[in-house]
Structure 1
């Protein structure tokens, strides 16, 4: 068999690599498969059995889910919060990263170090201060304290600065200034198109992080109708026990937008890398 495969141009090393990749893909997809299979079974089956085949109780679990919490209201809340926060993160991270990369001003290095130092502080440590600040500004139980912090994303600023350093030549900026473009127009017309792969990459991280955010909305939002999807899923209960079947259905609903967003945005990353390779 090995001789036949060698004759077809497939080496033993390549076969081993393919087998390893299949094993890794299986391990990565197994949790998703288990999640989908569990959403089709009853609570008793989920608690007592190892489930490998789909069941017949998906619609029963879905009915209990929508009867327990306004799941689609939570879905729309998550869509609004996530897309708004991601858009703010991408735009202002690119803007600040471009400023740190291409402009020289007094104290730039110290200010950049201060921005990076905030990455070492866990966000949970500032939740009490954020709560008190939002209480003073009368913004509790609104989306403002959840969306507005997305403007200042330290990792996004650092990531975009590195990408501007490597992807935006100074000659392009000078040509734009010679043609009479202002700095704002240069940023929107010249810099942002060159940062498309970086924006797509950061967009995936920002989207997933904000979509799955749980602690901040749970603390700052009191109205159940304002809660995003993860908080609503965690509150699914049947009488006094957790309803695992309904919860798995909610998780399935929650995962689908992430997969769709990743499949769309990942094409931008690949196309941007391919375009850069061709230009090189």
Structure 2
């Protein structure tokens, strides 16, 4: 009885601790959303968790400054979703090849992938811009989406995960039944990788959604601007800084990310035991 009571106390303390951490992580987001409904004068008085009644005015300011939120969301979603899908699919394919097959140069190929992770994106920025200019792909979404096919960090993560769940008996059984390699990958391997796909999907989508530097360099047409690029249009006036409209613009860039996380997080939790093999 004493041990059972002690376990309940420990469990309660753990719940309280994680509850506090949850609240602390939510407060900054809530302050940003609350400030989006407050006036500049109210914001200057200090942070508050209570929303204001200045939302419509802040929205009108956004519209006057050329903040086309619906067009920005569309552009950001096209880039983020397209690059995320390509990154996850081809990285999973590469990871499966590195884990399931033995071929000449396998270790060298994996070493090159690890080496590419260590190279900062900024190093190749000028060369990439010049290359896209020569191809006539400036002011286009193509150079922001297609290069996601080669994502070394995602390949590394997928390979590490696949090594923990991969069992050669499953593909061998499928081959005996007449399944081809592509069918094995799509029907057997990919479903087992749902937790890894959801995890890297969140990271990849958030990274591409918040990407500011590369679109800023490649895109010149304001109708193709992403949400982070539109936020930088909210320049301050000489005599008045509309902090409320700025917070509203930032909030509009955060809300889609929260929705994506809420949608994908259930696959991380629910798919932990997916693909387990009964001995």
Gap change, CA 1:274 and 1:189, over 3 Å in 2: closer
Do 2:192 and 2:275's aligned partners in 1 also have CA atoms closer than 8 Å? no
Tell me if 1:137 matches 2:120: no
Q: Counterparts of 2:249 and 2:138 in 1: how far apart (Å)?
A: 26
Q: Deviations over 1:55-88 (max 9, x none)?
A: 1101110111122122211111011111111110
- Alignment RMSD: 2.2
Task: Determine the structure 2 residue equivalent to 1:63.
Answer: 60
TM-score by length of 1: 0.91
Tell me if 1:75 matches 2:69: no
Tell me if 1:105 matches 2:132: no
Residues 193-204 of structure 1 mapped to structure 2, 5 A cutoff: 193-204=191-202
Out of 41, 47, 50, the residue aligned to residue 44 of structure 2 is 47
Residues 25-36 of structure 1 mapped to structure 2, 5 A cutoff: 25-36=22-33
What displacement does 1:169 show?
1.0
What displacement does 1:154 show?
0.6
Q: Counterparts of 1:260 and 1:34 in 2: how far apart (Å)?
A: 18
Out of 199, 203, 206, the residue aligned to residue 205 of structure 1 is 203
Task: Determine the structure 1 residue equivalent to 2:17.
Answer: 20
Gap change, CA 1:199 and 1:151, over 3 Å in 2: same
Find the residue that maps to 1:155 and give its secondary structure. helix
Instruction: Provide the aligned length of Structure 1 versus Structure 2.
Output: 276
Q: Deviations over 1:118-164 (max 9, x none)?
A: 11111122211111111111111101111111111111101111222
Gap change, CA 1:248 and 1:135, over 3 Å in 2: same
Do 2:31 and 2:47's aligned partners in 1 also have CA atoms closer than 8 Å? no
Find the residue that maps to 1:237 and give its secondary structure. coil
Q: Counterparts of 1:242 and 1:124 in 2: how far apart (Å)?
A: 32
In structure 1, stretches of 5+ residues that fail to align are 1-5
Q: Counterparts of 1:114 and 1:23 in 2: how far apart (Å)?
A: 43
Q: Counterparts of 2:251 and 2:84 in 1: how far apart (Å)?
A: 22
What displacement does 1:23 show?
2.4
Gap change, CA 1:279 and 1:267, over 3 Å in 2: farther
Q: Which moved more, 1:32-41 or 1:265-274?
A: 265-274
Do 2:139 and 2:220's aligned partners in 1 also have CA atoms closer than 8 Å? yes
Residues 208-247 of structure 1 mapped to structure 2, 5 A cutoff: 208-240=206-238, 243-247=242-246
Do 2:231 and 2:249's aligned partners in 1 also have CA atoms closer than 8 Å? yes
Q: Deviations over 1:38-57 (max 9, x none)?
A: 11112233234333322110
What displacement does 1:35 show?
0.3
